[in-house]
Structure 1
Amino acid sequence: MVEPVVIVHGGAWAVPEILWDRSIAGVKTAALHGYKVLQEGGSVVDVAEAAVEMDAIIMNGATMEAGAVAAIRNIPNPVKVARLIMEKTPHVMLAGEGANKFASQYGINEVDKELLITPYAKEELAEYKKYTNTVYCLFNKTEHVNPVGHDTVGCAVVDQKGHTACATSTGGITAKMPGRVGAVSTTGCGEAIMKACLARHIVSVMGTGQDVVTAIKSGLNHMETRINGFGGAIAVSCKGDVGMQFSTPRMPWAYVRQGKLHYGIHPGQHIIEDL
């Protein structure tokens, strides 16, 4: 029997101090909610969908099924659409207008984009028009002036039977070009993550028998040394091992296991609370 685990992240980037408390509160709430779903008999896929709220992906480790959407517009919870693609079609990914039409067929309709764009996001866009390289400013290890950013969230789950699932949803980086598709299942600079095949690297290292934390560190080190890319990742194994690492200035994360809530945002920070 495996000890169930639910771990979530709120994106690896230079999270500004004004967002620290809200970021931590968000990942704690998501982890607790996901763990409750698991305790009430929900599947690992149910948990992965519930824990994250316009790219998105969901994967079921037990069946090797996957679904994803890319460049979908004005959908408040794109991971729901990704799950429908996984369960209702033979495809893995739909993009753009096709993804929106598919969502509409299942009663998931577009909403007014103003409902999805916060005043803070508008300030971010105005600020980053001043920079020539948004990606560098968001994810480099060095702190920058007005380091505003992105909205990636992710979840990984393992249940008592060792079944795993994960989900990731993102609006992408601030000031991204139209049509940009972000890499998912990890977090940080999507272009670097795709070039380095970060998630695949982590899984491959775990396949050699290395622990989860060692595998994530190896992947992040490979991405940094090969292409000067920065980011983070969360992972669980079928044995219930859990890990989170990041090479950016900060990454909010939280997980629940054995009646305890673990969380942090700064490098080396690991706070534990009894439930």
Structure 2
Amino acid sequence: MNAAVVVVHGGGGGNISNDRKERVRQGIVKAATVGYNILKEGGSAVDAVEGAVTVLEDDPEFNAGCGSVLNENGEVEMDASIMNGKDLSAGAVSAVRCVANPIKIARLVMEKTPHCFLTDQGAAKFAAASGIPTIPGEQLVTERNKKRLENEKHEKGAQKSDYQKNLGTVGAVAADCRGNVAYATSTGGIVNKMVGRVGDTPCIGSGGYADNDIGAVSTTGHGESILRVNLARLALFHMEQGKTLEEAADASLGYMKSKVKGVGGVILVNKAGDWAVKWTSTSMPWGAAKDGKLYSGIDLGDTSITDLP
């Protein structure tokens, strides 16, 4: 039997204010616990990553689902992807609006269509036909994100937008007791993005990748940088070459930083149940659940370990 494990991230980025830290940590802990309980009850790695990411999409503290940042028109456009390492099946959506959980549509694309990726109106039509409820777009808009957009537009005149502020994504990776791995990643993108901008999150090989023979990875960071280096597949390439999960994470993040000055983070698992969490951004909320233990942190050197309920 392989060891079941779930690892989640809440996005690499800048400093998280003290008043938000506890809420962010609670959200991460809940997502990791939900994902792990799905595995304990016999669910698949795909079930676990979808379940964990749904929790984060439903939490306004994170840049996905109902916490998504706003584009230049003040609207929410979301991207998501999911992949099953057992057979390399994958599903992705981009520029979706008016739904609570884009990751659920991505999974339906993977399992119910001959395609890997649907976008915008096509994704919306498919979601509606699949019974995914639509919600008013304004339900996804938070006051905090309205303020963030105003601040970004104000600063944009000076063209000094800092990557570190714009790195929020959520993601999960898992290995189940049958040795299958999976990833899921979801985001609202970057503040004040052009309408129709798509980052790394829905792009298989950049926003994540899963292959039972190697492992699974979900990424976060500056989307354009991640796309340029295919960060997820690059990390797994280093694992294929014999590097440990930590070494593979460091090598791929280091390459992105040196080649395109991009910062971000990765979470990785393999089918044996080994896991790793690494980032080059200022912070990255993360949680991992394995063998009845829950690990979590936000800043470098800040790791807490507790027993799972």
Q: Under TM normalisation by the shorter chain, which class is it?
A: over 0.9
Q: CA deviation at 1:93?
A: 0.1
Alignment correspondent of 2:98: 74
1:217 is paired with a residue whose SS is helix
| Contact 2:79/2:186 (8 A) holds in 1 | yes
Summarize deviations over 1:75-107 as a string: whole Å, max 9, x none.
Answer: 110011001110011100000111001101011
| Contact 2:13/2:168 (8 A) holds in 1 | no
TM-score between both structures, scaled by the size of structure 1:
0.93
1:129 is paired with a residue whose SS is helix
CA distance in 1, matches of 2:138, 2:145: 11
CA distance in 1, matches of 2:297, 2:48: 21
In the TM superposition, structure 1's runs of 4+ consecutive aligned residues that sit over 4 Å from their partners are 133-136
Question: Are 2:177 and 1:160 equivalent residues in the alignment?
Answer: yes
Structure 2 gaps of 5+ residues are: 58-77, 202-207, 209-218
| Contact 2:109/2:116 (8 A) holds in 1 | yes
Structure 1 gaps of 5+ residues are: 140-146
Alignment of 1:194-205 (within 5 A): 194-205=227-238
CA distance in 2, matches of 1:106, 1:257: 34
| C-alpha distance 73-135 of structure 1, shift in aligned 2 (>3 A) | farther
CA distance in 2, matches of 1:194, 1:151: 15
| Contact 1:170/1:182 (8 A) holds in 2 | no
Summarize deviations over 1:44-70 as a string: whole Å, max 9, x none.
Answer: 111111111310001000111000001
Alignment correspondent of 1:267: 300
| Contact 1:58/1:67 (8 A) holds in 2 | yes
| Contact 1:48/1:156 (8 A) holds in 2 | yes
CA distance in 1, matches of 2:235, 2:254: 11
Alignment of 1:182-261 (within 5 A): 182-184=199-201, 185=208, 186-261=219-294
| Contact 1:150/1:171 (8 A) holds in 2 | no
Question: Across the two proteins, how many residue pairs are aligned to each other?
Answer: 267
1:131 is paired with a residue whose SS is helix
Question: What code does the residue aligned with 1:70 have?
Answer: S
| C-alpha distance 82-125 of structure 1, shift in aligned 2 (>3 A) | same
Alignment of 1:4-23 (within 5 A): 4-17=4-17, 18-23=19-24
2:147 to 123, 131, 134: 123
Question: What code does the residue aligned with 1:242 have?
Answer: W
Aligned-residue CA RMSD (Å): 1.5
Question: What code does the residue aligned with 1:164 have?
Answer: V
Summarize deviations over 1:182-219 as a string: whole Å, max 9, x none.
Answer: 21231010000000111111010000111111111111
CA distance in 1, matches of 2:198, 2:259: 22
| Contact 1:15/1:251 (8 A) holds in 2 | no
TM-score between both structures, scaled by the size of structure 2:
0.83
| C-alpha distance 188-150 of structure 1, shift in aligned 2 (>3 A) | closer
Q: CA deviation at 1:162?
A: 1.4
Question: What code does the residue aligned with 1:61 have?
Answer: G
2:100 is paired with a residue whose SS is coil
Alignment correspondent of 1:45: 46
| Contact 1:128/1:134 (8 A) holds in 2 | no
CA distance in 2, matches of 1:91, 1:135: 39
Alignment correspondent of 1:142: none
1:105 to 121, 129, 139: 129
| C-alpha distance 127-136 of structure 1, shift in aligned 2 (>3 A) | closer
CA distance in 2, matches of 1:134, 1:176: 13
Q: CA deviation at 1:150?
A: 5.6
CA distance in 2, matches of 1:151, 1:136: 15
CA distance in 1, matches of 2:300, 2:149: 27
CA distance in 2, matches of 1:191, 1:226: 12
CA distance in 2, matches of 1:242, 1:16: 24
CA distance in 2, matches of 1:273, 1:26: 15
Say which is worse superposed, 97-106 or 181-190, in terms of deviation.
Answer: 181-190
